[in-house]
Structure 1
Amino acid sequence: MGCCVSTSSRSTCSSGSHGEPQAVSPTCFEIGFRGTKRTIRTFSDHAIALQNLPSVPNRIFANGKSRTSCIFTQQGRKGINQDAMIVWEDFMPEDVTFCGVFDGHGPQGHLVAHKVRDALPLKLLSSMHSNQSRQHESGGSCFKGSSKKSAGRDSDKDGFAEDGSNFLWREAFMKAYKAMDKELRSHPNLDCFCSGSTAVTVVKQGHNLFMGYIGDSRAIMGSKDSNGSMVAVQLTVDLKPDLPREAERIRKCKGRVFAMQDEPEVPRVWLPFDDAPGLAMARAFGDFCLKEYGVISIPEFSHRLLTESDQFIVLASDGVWDVLSNEEVVEIVSSAPTRSSAARALVDSAAREWKLKYPTSKMDDCAVVCLFLDGKMDSEQGISSATLQSNHSGNAVESDDGPKSEPCLPRNFTVRTSEECDSYGRVVPAEVHGNAGTENQNWSGLEGVTRVNSLVQLPRFSEERPNP
C-alpha cells in the first residue's frame, strides 16, 4: 500500500483550539549536537496547523516507508482497525525523529487512537518550546543535548547539558500527555468515557533516545552483542494492572484488579460498584469511567544513549507481543528480505502465530514501526527462510517455493498460563467481588472474547451503589 509522505514545503504556524493560527515568538529552539554550528531555526518553522498535517514533509502514518523507517498495520478480527502509528522525520531541527504506536479500545477507540496520533506530537513540540522559552526568558542558555562530546568541554559541563536536555524532554512528555488527556475529556464530538488508547512514543535526537509511554504497547531495540550476534533489548514496560505498583495505585483509588475465570492470565481493571469495564491496562488516554479509580494517563519516561551496536527500534501494539517474544521480533526484522519490508514481515508472522496459538480467539489488530538507526533504508538484508507474500485482504500467505508450515514459536511472557510469572512479579488476583465469573455474568457467553480484548464490556452502572 502507498504511504502518506509529503514532499511539499509549506509555511507553518501553530494552531489554536479550533485550528486557527496563532502568533509564536521566534525563540531559541536548538536541541542537537554540541560543538557544531547549525542554522538557528525558530519554533514557528516547525509548529504545524492540525489541518495541514497530511501535507507535512517526512511524516508517514499509513503503510509504507520513509528515509529511515517502515510502518505497517493490519486489521484483526474484532472489527475496525483501532491501531494507529506515525513516523515524523525532521520533527525538529538537529536530527530529531518522532515515532509512535497507538492502540485504541472501546466503541470509539479507533477515533481516539487517530486523534492521539495527530495531536500528541504537536503537543510535545509545543511543550518543549514552552520549556525552552521559559528557560530562555529566565536568562539560561538553551541546552543542546547529544551523546557526542566536543573538544574543549570538560565532562562536568557535558554531563550538565545532557541532564538538562533529559529534564526538558521529561517535562515536555509529561505536559504533552496531560494536555492530550485533557483535550480528550473536553472534546465535543469524541466520547472517551468508555473508549481510550495506549501510546508508546519515542524521540530520537542524535544519539539520544527519549521515550514516553502508557498502556501495553511496547518498544524494543535490536542490538549486536560483543560476538556480533543480534540481541533484543526491551525499552519499555507493559503497564498492565498486575504490576505491583500499578495494582496498588488502582486499589487505593477503590478500583478492583482481577482476572476472569476463563482467562486467568489477563488481569483487568474493574469499577468498585460493577463488574465492568474490565480494562486490560493500568494507564491509557481516555477511559474516563476509570480515571477516578486508578487508571491514569501519566507516562513512564526513560532516556537511553545509543551506541554503534544498536541497529534498529521496533514499536508495536500488543497484537504483536501477545504471540511473539522480543527475541523473535528482532530475528524477524533483522532477517527480512529488505528493510522496507520488515514491518510487514513482522505483522505477517504475528498473523500466522495467532492462527497457530489461539485458533478459537479473535486475532487482535497489529501495528508496527521499524526505525533503523543508521539512517539507511536501501540496505539489503539476509534473505529469510520463508519468502512472504500477501493477498489483497492483508492476510499473510506463503510463496510456492517457501515452506508449507512453520514451527510454533515459544509463548511470550506477556501471554502466559496461570503457572507462569513475568520478570516484574505477578500480583495474585484479589478475591473477586460481586461474584464475578458466575453464570449470570455476560462475558461467559461471549465466544472468542479472550485475551485479545483490551476492554471486555461497557459499564452497566447498577442503580444501587455501595454507601460511601
Structure 2
Amino acid sequence: MQLRCVADFKLEQWLKNNTTVKHKEYETKSRPGSKPCVLRCAAASMRGNYPEKEEGYGNQDSYTVEEIEEGVLAGVFDGHGEYGDDCAEFVRDEIGDVLSDKHKEFVDWSDALSETYQTLNKKSHKEKDFDDLLSGTTAVTAYFGEGAIWFANVGDSRAVLGKVDQGGSFSTTPLFVDQTPFRQDERERVRAAGAQVMSYGQRMKGAKEPDSQYWEERADAMGADADAGTYKLVGGEPRVWAPGKEMPGTAFTRSIGDKYGEKVGVIGEPEVLRYELKEGDRFVFMCSDGVHDFITSQRVLNMIIEAGALNPDAPPETALAACRAVVAEAYRLWMTHDIRSDDITIVLVIIDPQ
C-alpha cells in the first residue's frame, strides 16, 4: 500500500497553534469481480478555545487512520469529562491492535468491531493511568475492506457517506442517528436500566422527569434530528441521570468509558453497519460534534468539492485542504455564536476507483 503524509499546517490566530493534520494514501485490494480503489485519507483536529480554562489544557478529540491487515481503519474519538483526553487517546492507541486480534477470533468484521468496542470499554475501566468513572469518549469508525465498509459507532460523533450519480450530482447520507436520549429507542433503553432522562436545568431544579411526549415535541420544535444546529440545544438537551443523583449527566446513551453511567444504561456496545461499496461512492467523512453542531453535511460536501478533492487526479493536498476548510469554518461559527469553541475534528476518506 502507498502511504503519503503531509506535515502539520498552521492557520491564523488560534488555529495557528492548536490544529494538527495528517494525510495518507492507500491502495486497497478488491474482491473477485470488484474494482480496486485508492483511498486518500486526510484529517484535521483542533483544540477548543476555552477562555475559562488555564493555559495548557489538552484537545479531548483524537482520531486514527491506520492499516489493519489488508484494509484501512479510520475513526474519530471525542472525549469528555476530567479524563476525556486520556480516554480518547486510549481508544485511538488501542483500537487497531484489539480489532486485529478480534478479527482472528470473529471472522466477520461486524462481529470483530462490536467485540473490539466492548473490550476497549472493559479495558478502560481497569486503566491505572486515568479514571473513567465520569469520563469517556465517543467512537465512530470505518473499516475499509474488500468491496465493503464496516462502520461502528457509540455516541454522537458522525459518519457520512458521499456519492455521485450518473448525472454528476453529489449527495450525502448519514450512516447513523446520534445515540442520545432524543432517540425514543435509546431513551426507553436507558430508562429500562433505571435512568431518569431530564435536562441539566430540570435536574438542578429538582423538577419532575418529563414523559416521552415532551422530548418528542422538543425534538420537533428545536430540530434535534436536523443535520446541524444542535448547538442551540445546549443546556436544554435530554441527559441521562441516576435517580436522585447529579450524575452522570451524559447527553449520549453509548460511549467507551463512563463506568458510572453503565449503572443506568450508558453502554459500550456499538451500532454496527456493513455497507457494500457501489459505483458512485466517493467519500466518507467522520467528525466530532465540534463540526456538526454548526455545519451541515451538505456544507461539508461543498467544501470538499471547492477544494477539488474529488478529482482522482488531484494532488494529495486537496483532501487536506478540505479538512482545513471545515475546521476553520466550524471554529469561525463557534466564535461567532459563543465566547468559546468545542474541540473540532474531521477525518475524510476519498474513494478513488481505479
Structure 2 equivalent of residue 370 of structure 1: 348
Shift of 1:263: 4.2
Q: Is the 8 A contact 2:22 2:42 kept in 1?
A: no
Identity of aligned residues (%): 31
Which ranges in structure 1 are unaligned for 5 or more consecutive residues?
Answer: 7-30, 37-65, 133-167, 377-468
The alpha carbon displacement at 1:207 in A equals 2.3
SS for the counterpart of 1:233 is strand
Is 1:34–2:32 an aligned residue pair?
yes
- Give the C-alpha shift of residue 317 in structure 1: 0.4
**CA separation in 1, counterparts of 2:167 and 2:112?**
38
Q: Which moved more, 1:337-346 or 1:276-285?
A: 337-346
TM-score (norm 2): 0.75
1:408 — aligned with what?
A: none
1:84-163 mapped onto 2 (5 Å cutoff): 84-89=62-67, 91-93=68-70, 96-132=71-107
Partner of 2:278: 307
1:259 to 199, 204, 209: 199
Greater mean alpha carbon deviation, residues 250-259 or residues 225-234: 225-234
Q: Which amino acid is 1:126 matched to?
A: D
Cα distance in 2 between the residues matched to 1:287 and 1:273: 18
Confirm or deny: 8 A CA contact 2:58 2:85 kept in the other structure. yes
Residue 198 of structure 1: how far off its partner (Å):
0.3
The match for 2:13 is none
Corresponding position of 1:340 = 320
Paired residue type of 1:119? E
Match 1:331 to one of 302, 307, 310: 302
Deviation at 1:375, TM superposition (A): 6.7
CA contact (8 A) 2:23 2:41 kept: no
Distance 1:254 1:211 in 2: 29
CA contact (8 A) 2:39 2:351 kept: no
Task: Give the corresponding residue for 1:422.
Answer: none
CA distance 1:375–1:75, shift in 2 (3 Å):
farther
Seen in structure 2, the aligned counterparts of structure 1 residues 263 and 373 have a Cα distance that, compared at 3 Å, is: closer
CA distance in 2, matches of 1:123, 1:92: 12
State the alpha-carbon separation in 1 of the partners of residues 133 and 77 from structure 2. Answer: 18
Give 1:308 shift.
2.3
Query: Which residue of structure 1 lines up, in the alignment, with residue 245 of structure 2?
Result: 274
Which residue does 1:206 correspond to in 2? 146
Query: Would you say the 8 A contact 1:242–1:257 is kept in 2?
Result: no
Residues 30 and 147 of structure 2 are in contact (CA less than 8 Å); yes or no, is this contact kept in structure 1?
no
2:262 and 2:106 map into 1 onto residues whose CA distance is 27
- CA shift, 1:275, in A, is 2.3
1:189 aligned partner: 129
Instruction: Look up the match of 1:162.
Output: none
Q: Is the 8 A contact 2:44 2:345 kept in 1?
A: yes
Larger radius of gyration: 1
2:48 alignment partner, one of 76, 80, 103:
76
Moved more, 195-204 or 276-285: 276-285
**Residue 136 (structure 1) aligns with:** none
Give deviations 1:321-361, integer Å, cap 9, x for gaps: 100111111111221252231111111111112123x224x
Q: Residue 290 of structure 1 aligns to a residue in which SS?
A: helix
State whether residues 39 and 350 of structure 2, in contact with CA within 8 Å, keep that contact through their aligned partners in structure 1: no
More strand by share: 2
Amino acid at match of 2:338: P
Query: Per the alignment, in what secondary structure is the counterpart of residue 239 of structure 2?
Result: strand
CA distance in 1, matches of 2:141, 2:263: 25
Which one has a larger percent helix, Structure 1 or Structure 2? 2
Deviations 1:413-440 (CA, angstroms, capped at 9, x unpaired): xxxxxxxxxxxxxxxxxxxxxxxxxxxx
Query: Which residue of structure 1 aligns with residue 15 of structure 2?
Result: none
> Any stretches of 5+ residues in structure 2 without a counterpart?
1-6, 9-20, 51-56, 202-232, 309-317
Aligned amino acid, residue 293 of structure 2: D
Distance of 1:260 and 1:175 partners within structure 2: 33
User: Is the Cα–Cα contact under 8 Å of residues 68 and 375 in structure 1 kept in the other structure?
Assistant: no
Aligned partner letter, 1:115? F
| Post-superposition offset of 1:67 | 6.5
Structure 2 CA distance, aligned partners of 1:199 and 1:265? 24
Q: Distance in 2 between matches of 1:252 and 1:182?
A: 22
The equivalent of 2:214 in structure 1 is none
Query: 2:64, 2:273 → 1: CA distance?
Result: 20
- Seen in structure 2, the aligned counterparts of structure 1 residues 235 and 117 have a Cα distance that, compared at 3 Å, is same
1:212–1:301: 8 Å Cα contact kept in structure 2?
A: yes
CA 1:256–1:279 in structure 2 vs 1: closer, same or farther (change >3 Å)?
Answer: same
Picking from 315, 318, 321, the partner of 2:292 is 321
Q: Deviations over 1:383-426 (max 9, x none)?
A: xxxxxxxxxxxxxxxxxxxxxxxxxxxxxxxxxxxxxxxxxxxx
2:81 counterpart letter in structure 1: G
Q: Specify whether residues 222 and 256 from structure 1 end up closer, same or farther in structure 2 by C-alpha distance, changes over 3 A only.
A: same
Which range moves more in the overlay, 227-236 or 98-107? 227-236
Q: Does 1:222 align with 2:199?
A: no
Structure-2 change in CA distance of 1:328 and 1:284 (3 Å): same
Over aligned residue pairs, what C-alpha RMSD do you find?
Answer: 2.4
Residue 351 of structure 1 aligns to a residue whose secondary structure is helix
Q: Deviations over 1:280-309 (max 9, x none)?
A: 111001111110111001000001112221
